Structures are given as structure tokens and as C-alpha cells.
């Protein structure tokens, strides 16, 4: 929500004010906005309100909003990409983007950030897709959707990366050596915010038609941020609705909590940097928990009952899926997290435990522990709530068995039971055993109660 608010602010800035032509000027604008004013808190609230209004109608309203946001985002991204290809020196940046560097590949932070990025983009490990999946029909092909979603996301990410590298090298490569350009991109603020909100406006000011491109660029960022915020906010909202809260009240509570929790990040870039690092790496941990759920349920049972139920022959998963979920994914996640923790300890041997230090291992573990404790408490409360509700609406015990002297008495008793239960006694031509019908009705009543 904070970054979404930044995008809104810069969109308005590009429309009504001239673009900065110097890095120092752009830096002053960015620092004044993020550190010397309350505008980030205001735009943070505006982003949350827009997301809440987009979700008032439930899945249908979210679908309508995304039908505008997602195509508009793709059109703008590909338009900016095509424009960047015609800049002198752009292909040098694109070539460097795909040039392998072993020093970067051997750094666990690279893999943590890459996996966190794709987890954030696709919603893996968040429960977001599970929330959206409740609106799908039983015939929806889960495997097909689960393949198209990350492939489409990776394609858009690659196009965006080539646009950034091409534009940056085209604008800065003429006056800077490659190493300085890379350092500029690397040290450009929280999660590349400096590159986006400081250097890009300057780069656009030096391009033909740059103001128009800048407007569409920040419009695309606003679309992307708003659609992500809608997805994230929909998950807790749906949980509250499932517990019986009115949708408007659930939206209000989620929006209020989001605004309150995010206010620190809106008012301090340091807090934002901390939250980005802590919860970016936490996505890997949450994905690991998701695999444990599948392992506990039984990978083969999960695969046959849920994955392959509507997959069809082409998308049907075999036993390899069991190996991936039980062995490959957990081992990869544990090794990656362990690698990152060891490197954090070696890099900060005297302060890695400090929970107050922004980039320490201790702050991640401390915040994870707090949220984990809250999550356990929420689950205990939910279980108690369900148990109490079941006790209040408990069905009466079934009648005790009675011995009959003959079949006629038994048939008469069954007729009486049928009248008490509210349905006519069926003939022997309709059903052979009335006990099956009674059991079926009791099962249906219990199912409706649950």
C-alpha cells in the first residue's frame, strides 16, 4: 500500500509538474516526499481506500477492476519496452542483464530475493490463490492455471527487466563506465525504489516524448501495485466474511489494520526497508509450511483428489509430483534459508542477533516469532469458535434400536418415523431399505450444519 501510494503521487507529479532534469533535483524531490512530509501517509490511505472500494462487490468487482488494470498494465509495459529498444546503447544493457556472473550466483541473497520476488508476484505461499480458488468451478484446470500464471509473470518480469536495463544503459552508459552504472542500479534505495523514483524521471526527461512515457510508466506501476494490494487485502477479508462478518465491516477492519500496520513504513524509509527484507524472505518459509500441509495430508491423496480431479490427460500429474513436494521443495527451501542464515551470521558476527538492527537476522526471527504466535492464537480462537458453534447447533442423538416381533410392526414403526421426520413413507418399489434414506437425510443435515 505504501509503494502504491508512492506511484499515485509520482503519477500526479508527472502530469502537473515538469520532470526533474538532474539527479540532485530528483533526489531532493524524493527525499522531501518520503522524509519531510506526511504525503506518504496520505497516499498510503488513499491506496487502501481504492483497494477497499474495488472489493465491495466481492469476486465480481475484483474481476471487473482487474479486467481494466491487467490489460492496461501489459499494454504500457510492452509499449515502454519497444520504445527502449530504439534508444542508443539499450542492447548493451540487455546483453549485460543476461550475462552470467558467478559472484552474484553464489550469493544466497540473490536466490532469496529472486524466490521472494516470484513468490510475491504469483502469490505462492500467501494463501492468495487459495482465496481466489474458492470462486472457481470444480472443472477448473488447476495444473493449467498453475503453469500459465508463473510463466506469464516471468515473461512480464523479463520484459520489465530488459526495459530497465536498456533504458538505464542508454541514458547513463554514455557518461559512466559499466561498473558505475551497475552501482547506481544496485544502490538505488529500497527494493530499487531509488532507480524508479529518482533516476527514471531524470532519464525520461532526456528522452523524446519523455513526459508522456513517464506518465504511462507510473500509471502502469500504479495499476500493478493496486492489483497486488487488492489480492493481498482480499485474503483476510474473505476469512472474516467466512466467519460471519458483514462484508463492509470486514473490509473496514482489514483496511484499518492495514493502514495502522503500514503507517510506520509510510513515515520511515528505514522501516520500509526492514519490512521488505523481513517479509520477503518469510515468503519462502510460508511456502515451506504449505508443502508440509501437503505432506501431512498425503501427497498421493492430495494429487489424486485435488490436482488431477479436473486436470485432464494432458495436465495430469504423475508420481514425480509426490517426489517434488515431499523431497525437492522442502530440501531446497531448508538449504536456502540455512545458507542465508549462516551468511548473515558470518557477515555480522557481533550484531546478527540484534532484533533492533534493520538488516540483521535477529530482526527477521523476532518478527516471524511474533506473527507466528499471533497466528497460533488466531487458529486456537477459530477452533474454539467452531466447537462452540457445533455444540449450540448439535443434532439430537439418533433413536435407540427397538426389537420388533414381526416385519409388520417394523414396517409400521418405520412409517411413523418417516412421518415424524417430515417425509412420506416410500413404497418398496421406490427403495428397498428405508434405513438408507434416513441415514442419507441425517448426513445431509449434518453436512448443511458444517
- Which of 133-142, 349-358, 361-370 has the highest mean predicted lDDT (pLDDT)? 361-370
Is 322 domain-assigned?
no
Residue-range definition of the domain harbouring residue 435:
408-449
Is 49 domain-assigned?
yes
Last residue of a domain, one of 243, 262, 281: 262
Domain count of the fold of the chain: 2
At residue 187, the 3 state secondary structure works out as coil
* All residues at 6 or more sequence positions from 200 whose CB lies less than 8 Å from its CB, including other chains: 167, 214, 217
Percentage above 90 pLDDT, the chain: 14
CA gap 127, 131 in Å, rounded: 6
Is 399 domain-assigned?
no
Is 394 domain-assigned?
no
Question: Which of 89, 76, 97 lies closest to 207, judged by CA?
Answer: 89
CA gap 173, 164 in Å, rounded: 13
Last residue of a domain, one of 242, 262, 282: 262
Enter the pTM of the model: 0.74
Considering only residues 392 and 240, tell me which one the structure prediction assigns the higher pLDDT. 240
Mean pLDDT of 192-209: 77
Is 291 domain-assigned?
no
Is 318 domain-assigned?
no
Last residue of a domain, one of 262, 280, 307: 262
Per-residue pLDDT, 285: 87
Mean pLDDT of 139-157: 85
How high does pLDDT run on average in the chain? 80
pLDDT band at 252 (very low <50, low <70, confident <90, very high): very high
CA gap 214, 218 in Å, rounded: 6
* All residues at 6 or more sequence positions from 55 whose CB lies less than 8 Å from its CB, including other chains: 61, 62, 230, 233, 234, 237, 251
User: Is residue 334 within 8 Å of residue 284, measured between CB atoms?
Assistant: no
C-alpha neighbours within 13 Å on the C-beta side of residue 17: 11
User: Is residue 3 within 8 Å of residue 225, measured between CB atoms?
Assistant: yes
Mean pLDDT of 322-342: 89
User: Is residue 116 within 8 Å of residue 284, measured between CB atoms?
Assistant: yes
Dihedral Cα 186, 337, 339, 326, nearest 10 deg? -130
Q: Each residue of 167-188: pLDDT tens digit?
A: 888 877 777 787 777 777 766 6
Is 396 domain-assigned?
no
Long-range contacts of 92-96 (CB under 8 A, 24+ apart): 92/169, 92/173, 93/165, 93/166, 93/167, 93/168, 93/169, 93/170, 93/173, 93/181, 94/162, 94/165, 94/166, 94/169, 96/165, 96/169, 96/178
Question: Which of 236, 208, 265 lies closest to 43, judged by CA?
Answer: 265
Is 163 domain-assigned?
yes
Per-residue pLDDT, 189: 60
Please check the confidence at residue 417 and state whether its pLDDT lies above 70.
Answer: no
Amino acid at each position: 500500500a505504501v509503494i502504491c501510494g508512492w506511484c499515485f503521487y509520482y503519477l500526479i507529479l508527472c502530469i502537473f509538474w515538469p520532470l526533474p532534469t538532474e539527479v540532485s533535483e530528483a533526489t531532493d524531490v524524493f527525499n522531501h516526499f518520503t522524509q519531510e512530509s506526511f504525503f506518504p501517509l496520505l497516499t498510503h490511505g488513499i491506496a487502501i481506500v481504492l483497494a477497499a472500494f474495488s472489493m465491495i462487490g466481492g469476486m465480481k468487482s475484483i474481476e471487473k477492476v482487474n479486467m481494466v488494470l491487467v490489460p492496461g498494465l501489459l499494454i504500457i509495459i510492452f509499449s515502454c519496452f519497444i520504445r527502449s529498444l530504439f534508444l542508443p546503447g539499450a542492447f548493451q544493457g540487455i546483453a549485460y542483464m543476461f550475462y552470467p556472473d558467478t559472484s552474484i550466483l553464489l550469493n544466497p541473497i540473490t536466490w532469496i530475493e529472486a524466490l521472494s520476488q516470484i513468490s510475491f508476484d504469483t502469490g505462492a505461499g500467501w494463501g492468495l490463490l487459495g482465496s481466489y480458488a474458492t470462486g472457481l468451478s470444480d472443472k477448473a484446470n488447476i495444473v493449467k492455471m498453475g503453469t500459465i500464471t508463473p510463466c506469464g509473470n516471468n515473461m512480464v518480469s523479463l520484459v520489465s527487466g530488459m526495459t530497465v536495463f536498456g533504458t538505464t544503459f542508454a541514458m547513463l552508459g554514455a557518461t559512466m563506465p559499466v561498473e558505475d552504472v551497475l552501482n547506481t542500479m544496485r544502490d538505488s534505495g529500497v527494493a530499487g525504489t531509488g532507480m524508479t523514483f529518482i533516476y527514471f524521471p531524470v532519464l525520461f526527461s532526456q528522452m523524446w516524448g519523455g513526459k508522456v512515457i513517464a506518465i504511462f510508466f507510473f500509471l502502469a506501476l500504479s495499476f500493478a501495485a493496486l492489483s497486488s494490494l487488492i489480492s493481498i487485502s482480499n485474503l483476510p477479508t474473505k476469512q472474516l466474511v467466512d466467519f460471519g462478518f458483514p462484508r463492509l465491516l470486514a473490509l473496514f477492519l482489514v483496511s484499518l489494520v492495514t493502514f495502522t500496520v503500514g503507517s510506520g513504513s509510510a513515515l520511515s524509509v528505514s522501516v520500509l526497508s526492514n519490512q521488505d527484507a523481513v517479509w520477503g524472505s518469510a515468503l519462502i518459509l510460508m511456502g515451506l509450511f504449505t508443502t508440509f500441509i501437503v505432506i501431512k495430508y498425503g501427497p498421493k491423496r492430495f494429487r489424486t483428489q485435488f490436482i488431477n480431479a479436473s486436470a485432464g490427460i494432458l495436465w495430469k500429474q504423475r508420481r514425480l509430483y509426490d517426489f517434488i513436494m515431499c523431497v525437492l521443495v522442502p530440501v531446497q527451501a531448508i538449504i536456502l534459508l540455512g545458507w542465508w542464515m549462516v551468511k548473515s551470521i558470518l557477515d555480522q558476527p557481533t550484531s546478527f542477533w540484534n532484533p533492533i538492527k534493520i538488516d540483521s537476522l535477529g530482526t527477521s526471527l523476532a518478527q516471524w516469532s511474533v506473527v507466528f504466535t499471533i497466528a497460533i492464537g488466531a487458529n486456537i480462537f477459530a477452533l474454539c469458535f467452531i466447537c462452540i458453534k457445533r455444540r449450540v447447533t448439535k443434532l439430537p442423538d439418533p433413536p435407540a434400536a427397538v426389537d420388533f416381533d414381526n416385519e409388520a410392526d417394523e414396517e409400521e414403526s418405520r412409517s411413523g418415523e418417516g412421518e415424524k421426520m417430515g417425509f412420506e413413507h416410500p413404497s418398496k418399489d421406490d427403495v428397498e431399505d428405508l434405513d438408507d434414506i434416513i441415514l442419507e437425510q441425517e448426513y445431509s443435515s449434518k453436512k448443511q450444519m458444517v
